[in-house]
């Protein structure tokens, strides 16, 4: 499996020189320390016009959520549907594969995607 780089996350607690706790999206369902070997320092965009400061999440039903700009692709992983999401205000390096359950609030973006790509996995 290929490791993917996602997000800009705040270190909330340093557990040891080798482990930290990050402020993650609730959908990650991870609150365990993360080994620092899995982290990369932030590098600002080098292309003029790219947004340097990511857009803040919005609060929906008491939980933080990020705004979906577009659904780019879909695939089945272990017989479960996932969507490749382009996040509003973020560069393409922050696109991420999200399970269908995490995409309930973006039905319009999903419908637009399927109109463009009717043969994509459903």
Is the residue at 74 inside a domain?
A: yes
Question: In terms of residue numbers, what domain contains 105?
Answer: 11-116
* Count of structural domains, the chain: 1
pLDDT digits over 71-100, tens only?
999 999 999 999 999 988 788 888 889 999
Cβ–Cβ < 8 Å for 13, 31: no
Is the residue at 2 inside a domain?
A: no
C-alpha span between 117 and 32 (Å, rounded): 38
Residues of the chain below pLDDT 50: 1-3
Q: What is the mean pLDDT of the chain?
A: 80
C-alpha span between 121 and 24 (Å, rounded): 29
What is the pLDDT, as a whole number, of residue 27? 64
CATH code at position 74: 2.40.50.40
Provide the percentage of residues in the chain whose pLDDT is more than 70: 75
Is the residue at 41 inside a domain?
A: yes
Is the residue at 39 inside a domain?
A: yes
Threshold 0.75, pTM exceeds: no
Provide the percentage of residues in the chain whose pLDDT is more than 90: 26
Is the residue at 6 inside a domain?
A: no
Is the residue at 122 inside a domain?
A: no
């Amino acid at each position: 499996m290929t490791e993917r780089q996602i997000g800009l996350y705040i270190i909330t607690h340093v557990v040891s020189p080798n482990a930290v706790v990050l402020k993650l999206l609730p959908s990650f369902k991870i609150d365990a320390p993360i080994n620092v070997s899995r982290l990369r320092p932030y590098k600002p965009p080098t292309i003029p016009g790219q947004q340097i400061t990511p857009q803040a999440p919005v609060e929906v039903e008491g939980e933080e959520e990020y705004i979906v700009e577009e659904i780019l692709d879909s695939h089945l992983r272990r017989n479960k549907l996932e969507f490749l999401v382009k996040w509003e205000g973020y560069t393409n390096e922050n696109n991420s594969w999200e399970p269908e359950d995490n995409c309930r609030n973006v039905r319009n973006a999903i419908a637009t995607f399927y109109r463009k790509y009717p043969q994509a996995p459903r």
